[in-house]
Amino acid sequence: MKKSMIAILITSSLALSATAASSHNHLSKVGNNGGKQATEATIKANKKVEATLDFTDVKAFENNNKGLITPLDKETGDIIRNSFNFIATDTTTAQNSPDSVNPSLWRQAVLNQAAGGLYEVRKGDIYQVRGTDLASMTFIRSDHGWIIYDVILTKEAAKKTLEFFLDNVPEGGDLPIVAMIYSHSHVDHFGGSRAVKSLFPDVKIYGSKNITKEIVDESVLAGNAMSRRAAYQYGATLSRSEHGIVDAALAKGLSSGEITYALPDHELNHESEFETLNIDGLEMIFMDASGTEAASEMVTYIPSMKALWTAELTYQGMHNLYTLRGAKVRDGLKWSKTINKMLMNWGQEAEVSFSAHSSPIFGNDDIKSFLKMQRDAYGFTHNQTLRLLNDGVVLQDMGDKIYTVMPDSIQKSWHTNGYHGTYSHNARAVYNMYIGYFDMNPANLNPLPIKAESAKFVEYMGGADKIVDRATTDFDKGEYRFVATALNKVIQVEPENKEARALLADSLEQLGYQSEGAGWRNIYLTGAQELRVGIMSGALKSASLDVLANMTVENLLDYMAVKVDALKAQNTPFTLNVVLEDTHKTFFVEMSNGNLNNIVVDKAIKGADATLTIKRTDVSNIILQKTTLKSLLSNEKASLKGDKEVINKLTSSLVTFDPKFEIVPLPKKGGEVNANLYKH
């Protein structure tokens, strides 16, 4: 397939001049599944993509179907998979995409829909349950029971998945879970941990290097923004239909429920890159992969089984170097080199390779071929972006340019397609990682704030009415990308302009229909949805109470510093000792110049305004809302000596984040379309 043709979704405005139906004139034409029909321009763009795809290559479907023991029953299927039953699972369906879905993404949606049940990965000792969450739950036989590798997103989904496995595994369903392993620091791999812990209290827990710290950094410090943005990326409020979410790239989607986190008993790979452990009689070799797909991550080789666990460094697609929900940019070169280390260390003998997402790879030759192509896709993105930026290609142009230099072998491979991480935004991530967002053009050095810039743009263009007239003409030509750019300026200035709002929503919708990347599709369609009906509920909160309760006190103080309103705090400076009497650790906290600082000290600082003595366990109980500081002080389970106003000075400076902050300008009350159009 030609991945350069995928750029049609970016450049269709230049290539197409078909006349679209006037579907953009009235918001009332939004259908019962939360979307309008694809325009002629979108249909033609998607047909061009379809012509480049090799649907005779069904290897991924064969691997997925191999080893199926039993399909998901209704209860486990209802967690996620059954809400996508409008998608059939045969390879013929993969070739017959709806007009409103990019044909390459549709094929991925069919492939992921086909993954639903208990699978035998290696005869008698490795099994997976797929289709109950964004990640799969993997079970590995040990001497006295089962080791679970990754425990999916929510407690509720994990409980049902675990019970489904124990009820249906051919042998060993009466054995305990003796260990669970978190391969990395992303929430869909540890969030169900309490379900396992509650059923098997003696389970031993293993995590990747510095996993708790990295969970806090990613899920808490910027957690409010990430949760809001994740609702866009994963289409949390979209209908499950050909006009809404069809796939989440890695699997069908996210489960609903409570995100939990049980602390690891042992974090791996602290002393060296490799660490070998015997877990309930099974030798497992762990290799640190932190700084690749996650800030804390590890891969595993099981010599006795010739089985390679690749965590999330590989799946049936291209992953994110920059994830659209927002996270630290990932190192594409390190990612490529880590896959190469797997290949060099175990690639010559591995007989099965399996991961947290997608189907396993079977047979040594196929494993080597798969790993090489995955390695080279990330290496290509890193190296060619640097080559292009060293030739003067700038950030805004890089997303288009990377497709024009892609080798045929990467273009034609299904499993390097940009379903999760597109080459466009990954190349821009590499650019930003090395030289930042600024392209050195002085005109871009200090632009006006968005609304002020938009006002001048609208003024220069002769007013909103002229822009809407020109945008209407360009929409009919299929030039959705610039229409969206221009109309976004209009509604920043005139959010009540219904015609501009309607046309912008329609433009974003068509861009979504053309997108190969699942995240791109969901972001475009969610933007269109919010322009029409406002913010709908449905987003998970990554900074759950269970995650917060496992923060270190230093993490907690850092998080509190993020919530300080500097203008309020500048007039209420203070110093505070925080003494943890059960862990014998002391922090010196200082509010100065509107900034909250903390540092670990050997002993309480003399002359501090106040000293709070409290147990570390009670800090967790406060976060879990099991108690309050006021209650602890009144019951003499904590003490505060010195200036009692210090706590009030701190708490009065803290803000509460808005979990539904505006991303696109929202409609005024009374100007929304019926939100029931988007119910799912």
pLDDT digits (tens, 9 = 90+) for 387-439: 999 999 999 999 999 999 999 999 999 999 999 999 999 999 999 999 999 99
* Higher pLDDT among residues 11 and 191, named by residue: 191
Specify if 449 maps to a domain: no
Distance of CA 261 to the CA centre of its chain: 18
The residues near 14 (Cβ < 8 Å, ≥ 6 apart) are 479
Residue 486 backbone phi and psi in degrees, to 5: -70, -45
Q: What's the rounded Cα separation, in Å, for the pair 194 and 262?
A: 6
Q: What is the domain count for the chain? A: 1
Specify if 422 maps to a domain: no
Which whole number is the average pLDDT over 249-270? Answer: 91
pLDDT value of position 16 = 30
Does residue 494 register a pLDDT over 50? yes
Describe the crossing of helices 616-623 and 553-562 by its angle, rounded to 10 degrees.
40
Which whole number is the average pLDDT over 659-674? Answer: 83
pLDDT band at residue 11 under the 50/70/90 scheme? very low
Least trusted range by pLDDT, from 204-218, 301-315, 396-410, 451-465:
204-218
pLDDT band at residue 1 under the 50/70/90 scheme? very low
The pTM of the full predicted model, rounded to 2 decimals, is: 0.90
The percentage of residues in the chain with a pLDDT greater than 70, rounded to a whole number, is: 93
Q: What's the rounded Cα separation, in Å, for the pair 648 and 650?
A: 5
Which whole number is the average pLDDT over 521-544? Answer: 83
pLDDT band at residue 556 under the 50/70/90 scheme? confident
Residue 587, Ramachandran bin (φ over 0: left; ψ between -120 and 50: alpha; else beta): beta
The percentage of residues in the chain with a pLDDT greater than 90, rounded to a whole number, is: 81
| Cα 294 to Cα 138, 202, 297, 332, distances in angstroms | 19, 28, 6, 12
Which ranges in 51-181 belong to alpha helices (H)?
59-65, 74-77, 91-94, 103-113, 155-168
Residue 252 tokens read as 């069908």
Q: What is the overall mean pLDDT for the chain?
A: 91
pLDDT value of position 3 = 54
| Cα 95 to Cα 65, 102, 169, 229, distances in angstroms | 18, 11, 34, 32
Does residue 19 register a pLDDT over 90? no
pLDDT digits (tens, 9 = 90+) for 85-103: 999 998 888 999 999 999 9
Q: What's the rounded Cα separation, in Å, for the pair 434 and 233?
A: 25
**Residues for the chain: how many in total?**
680
Specify if 592 maps to a domain: yes
Q: What's the rounded Cα separation, in Å, for the pair 403 and 381?
A: 10
Specify if 585 maps to a domain: yes
Angle at 57 between CA 55 and CA 63, to 5 degrees: 125
pLDDT value of position 271 = 80
pLDDT band at residue 339 under the 50/70/90 scheme? very high
pLDDT value of position 347 = 96
Specify if 641 maps to a domain: yes
Q: CATH number for the domain including 642?
A: 3.30.1050.10
pLDDT value of position 18 = 30
Q: What's the rounded Cα separation, in Å, for the pair 223 and 216?
A: 9
The residues near 581 (Cβ < 8 Å, ≥ 6 apart) are 613, 614, 615
Which whole number is the average pLDDT over 489-498? Answer: 95
Q: Provide the residue range defining the domain that includes 585.
A: 552-653
pLDDT band at residue 217 under the 50/70/90 scheme? confident
| Cα 289 to Cα 120, 156, 347, 680, distances in angstroms | 26, 29, 16, 38
* Higher pLDDT among residues 59 and 12, named by residue: 59
Which whole number is the average pLDDT over 646-664? Answer: 92
Asked if 211 contacts 270 with a C-beta cutoff of 8 angstroms, the reply is no
